[in-house]
Amino acid sequence: MSGRDVAVTGLGVVCPAGIGVEASWQGMLAGRSVAAADPRLAGLPCEFACRVPGFDASALLGARLAWRLDPFAQMALVAAREAVADAALDRQSWDPARIGVVIGAGSNSMYQYEKPFAQLAAGDAAKISALTTPRSVPSMAAGEVAMDLGLQGPNFATSSACASGATALGVARALVQAGTCDIVIAGGAESVLAPFTANALTQTRAVSGRSWDPAGASRPFDADRDGFVLAEGAALLVLERLDHAQARRAPIRAMFTGYGASCDAHHFVAPHPQGRGAQQAMVAALRDADLAPADIGHVNAHGTSTIAGDLAEAAALQSLFAASPPVTATKSVIGHAIGAAGAIEAVCVVLSLQHQVIPPTANLDSLDPKIDLDVVAKTPRPVRHGAALSNSFGFGGQNAALVFQAV
């Protein structure tokens, strides 16, 4: 171990499988999609989604703070508080200037824009709230977490479409390795379930049209897949220099040993058909971790359930691995939370390494014959593995791959 070693010492999650790490993990292990009809999307081309169940921001954060924040920032704040508690961090003893916050978000939140757009169209521009912009810009989740916890280190957002949360983790790790920070709270937060955003994403034809069967709509790698299910959530990980964590006797959940990023440079929404950029990112992450493909015991796939995306990722995995390691796709259970997805999946990987079990992929009834992968389905799979890979890819050809290792 060296001064460049980065430990994961805390986790916090708010996602459609549950609020909190334990509830989310049990939901993942259950292997059942939580997608359902969404009354707030009624009348739109896509009327179902994966919402966080029973999320009451006023109860969790206080009514005034909840009112001021957009949903993606509300969820980030709840996840951050859990992660800090999980890491056993003591606000009285930490150096706030040495703790950073990096939170990925795929886009501007649209919750705060629908009403102003209507006011503007009605000629009521003077009625538009001054809070519209500060509630919704992508960096506000990171800013609000810093204000809530009193953190004064580097603070910003990353935005690389659906890879944003994973990119944030990679950038945060670099801050720790460079000695800029002792600790960085990093991950992703997003809610694309405002009617404006949900409808816009549906128009890309990447969203499933399986309205008669919402719970069966997200089906990565299945021959009958037709697109992803919209979702929301936030996940934050406490990343800490290993010697710093050891000095304060912190709980260490896993080591974050590899990060790779690339761009397909191919198409504005479609992935490279052979997964060229995806494979490049995975190779870089493995090289960074000083591991060979054979060392990986589990892959948490990007696995969105789109026809082209799953084929491209499968092609990349099949090219990289001589024999497929067990593969799972978390989005089958919780849908696609865009900028938060990579961070939620990183938490799932860390828990998988800790518990030595791989959550199943939901709704995999018939593996696409063009896909030659060992996909874990139906039930969790106990497996002894020391390292796992997590993939995140996005519009614009954005690719990020993360490697975590068991302690």
Catalytic residue numbers read 162, 302, 336
- DSSP annotation of 367 reads B
∠ CA 236-241-245 to the nearest 5 degrees?
85
CA gap 73, 366 in Å, rounded: 38
162, 339 Cβ separation under 8 angstroms: yes
CA gap 313, 332 in Å, rounded: 15
CA gap 298, 130 in Å, rounded: 47
CA 140 to chain centre: 17
CA gap 201, 192 in Å, rounded: 8
Compute the residue count for the chain.
407
Rounded to 5 degrees, φ, ψ at 376 are -75, 125
Q: In DSSP terms, which residues pair with 48 in a beta bridge?
A: 37
